[in-house]
Amino acid sequence: MDSGLFLPSASLDQTCELFLSKIKEVNPKVHTELIEKAFRFSWEAHKDQLRKSGEPFLAHPAAVSLILAEQRLDSVTISAGLLHDVLEDTTIKKETLAEEFGDEIALLVDGVTKISTFQLKSRQERQAETYRKMLLSMAKDLRVIIIKFADRLHNLRTLKYLEPDRIRAIATETLDIYAPLAHRLGMAKIKWELEDLAFKHLYPEEYKDIVAKVVANRVERESLIDNFTFPLRRRLEEEGIEATIVGRPKHFYSIYRKMVQRNKPFEEIFDLLALRVITKSIRDCYHVLGIIHSLWTPVQERFKDYISTPKSNGYQSLHTTVYGEQGHIVELQIRTWEMNQVAEDGIAAHWLYKSGSKEMSRDDKALVWLKNLIEWQKDLTDSTEFYEFFKIDLFHAEIFVFTPNGDLISLPKGATVLDFAFSVHTQLGLHCIGAKIDGKIEPINKQLKSGQTVEILHLNSKSPSINWLREVKTPKARSAIRRWLKNTGKQESIDLGKKIVHTSYKKLHSTTSFNDHTPGLLQFLGLINLDRLYELVGNGELPISRVMQYFKVRKVKKSVPSNMVSRLMGTFTGRNQGILVGGNDNLMIRFAKCCNPIPGDPIVGFVTRGRGISVHRDDCANVEFFSADPERKIDVRWDEGEQKKYHVSLEVVGGDRPGLLHEISQVYSEFGANVLEGSIKTISQQARSKFRIEIRNRNQLKQIFRRLQRIKGIENVTRVKDYINYPQDSSQQRE
């Protein structure tokens, strides 16, 4: 926008008339009545403000609205562009804006307004909440982000007037957030200009060097384009195909990125040129591809069919790279006119092709990522965490995998079986135990590759654990796991905490009821209700010793007779105080894999943060480590009345001979142990066998040990500490 229009000597009427003529010049179909009203309102709102360049502030919103007009957007969007800084930089309120221009424009302007409330602790928190607010506003009206891109674009074009630190911050944020976001939303033209302008300000010397070399290379580039377009155009005419051929160099930041990634100078980057062939139909696209491959030799690994398999941002095109004369490498993109429009303008094209649909449709592929992002952010309350995951998710490359029915699923590079399961259906993800990948069974954390067919294996008794958050890459999976842990884990923490608190209180053998002490105890701990107390104890945030300290300080009276009766009852019933392990009242119990305890083993429990009780054998080497924090130690005992199955691994070593494996198997069968898997290896006449078996308790294991040791030639039988997984129902699953 010509800043001369906004000289102090220029009148409002004269300036408004010139501005509207420019709008009509770039977008003849737009209605100017609303735009004129917005221009005059913005003039009055910003009349006493200047930009860092010294020009009137209105020059900026006017330029933003002109960028929107160039994208052929409607008068409401252009008007919102004129008003986009009114709420942020003047005293005008959103209600006033709504009264003057209606709720639609007020929503758009509020959507692009930064959050600056003093309650937020840091600039990064404000920034993260601004992004979150922008995303939620986009869900209501897509034009919010289009206005924001136009705002950022003009700010970058006039960035030189700011302080160096501020220039670097804005340029860095552009490369970190806005350019990747433009790419995610399919807005290639906006993305290219954002990247090149940010590159210019962040790396001025490198920028000048590349621009100079691209300009110096112009004659050679035009000659190379001619060498490709002449024979291609001739063949297209012979085949009766109408097409437009356009040649251009890659944009500057793209070239710089190739140089950095490949660690090569400009002169050794050969794929700097891209030719685009635009046709009338998809059929013509594939016909053109065949012609190109008949004229030049293709680089096999560089062919991509994004027409049959569109990118997640809706981008469609055929990509092929060929060897030309003198070893030149040229990339060709083949697409229809509508595909070209979508590729360059992304959701702005969505706005045009969907007849002004403001909201995201269910089937619009270009907006699937945005819908997922809006969904998963609901479960994040920490602004910093949201900001980091938002940045990470923006940069993910894509892979494409198939369901058994042939449906295509797009996932970020590095996605796992769990990510795939959640992308198909949340319930499938919550109960996932693994997958068949091209027919081969793989675990939940197996990373996927493009082209694989994945069939999810699930079990209704399986449920998520906090460890799953380390195994997923997609926000949808992370959000679903967090939601499940929050909803289910909270109640289980309350139940576990209640059991721990009341068990510990019983040990005091007090003459008074626990409920008699509740008000004073809550006040002592600074809590508002018992459920919160139980939750904090259950998830390990509040040591039980801190709770018991209240009673010790007040010297709660004990009853000797009750103490004696309690001891007698424990003697007769065999049920001493402690948390049951392995029974139906088992809550958030996790068996330590370092020692694999089974019923009958002497055990000890420790309350771990967010993961319930970790149960170890008392001779486990890690017990000493946990014992350093005695406040987390808790009494646990086996539920002898509960007949469950546990997995144990054994190693049997002896002299190799015929029939040995058969005799070992007979022992397992004799004592009712189910063999889950086994292996045998013979070295120098010594047989070393490993078995994973399913048993009920330690006594059964002792019988198996004694019987195995009596087999002829057996030298040693040992219990192996490995990756044992305990099969448990949904209330007990805590791997």
Distance CA 681, CA 565 (A): 57
Which residues neighbour 585 within 8 Å (Cβ) at sequence distance 6 or greater? 499, 639
Distance CA 612, CA 535 (A): 11
Distance CA 84, CA 94 (A): 11
Place of tokens 């090569």: 264
Which residues neighbour 663 within 8 Å (Cβ) at sequence distance 6 or greater? 711
Three-state DSSP state, 448: coil
Cβ-contact 615, 527 below 8 angstroms: no
- Token pair for 327: 């070893």
Cβ-contact 716, 688 below 8 angstroms: no
Pairing relationship of beta strands 318-323 and 304-305 according to DSSP bridges:
antiparallel
Place of tokens 């139940």: 495
Distance CA 269, CA 127 (A): 37
C-beta neighbour count of 379 within 10 angstroms: 16
Burial class (CB in 10 A: 0-12, 13-18, 19+), 171: buried
Distance of alpha carbon 349 from its chain centroid, rounded?
A: 27
- Token pair for 509: 């053998």
- List b or e across 560-599, with b for residues whose CB sees 16 or more CB atoms inside 10 angstroms: eeeeeebeeeeeeeeeeebbbbbbeebbbbbbbeebbbbb
- Token pair for 85: 């800084």
One-letter amino acid for residue 198 of the chain = A
Q: Which residues are catalytic?
A: 88-89
507 φψ region: left (φ > 0), alpha (ψ -120 to 50), beta (else): alpha
Distance CA 32, CA 36 (A): 6
Pairing relationship of beta strands 398-402 and 329-336 according to DSSP bridges:
unpaired
Burial class (CB in 10 A: 0-12, 13-18, 19+), 534: buried
Nearest to 466 by CA among 614, 686, 298, 619: 614
Nearest to 108 by CA among 132, 128, 138: 138
DSSP state string for 69-132: HHTT--HHHHHHHHHTTHHHHSS--HHHHHHHH-HHHHHHHHHTSPP--TTS-SHHHHHHHHHH
Work out the angle at residue 339's Cα, subtended by the Cα atoms of residues 337 and 341, and round it to the nearest 5 degrees: 70
Query: How many residues in total does the chain contain?
Result: 735
| Sign (positive or negative) of CA dihedral 541, 544, 547, 550 | negative
| Phi, psi angle pair for 404, to nearest 5° | -60, -25
Place of tokens 């709770």: 547
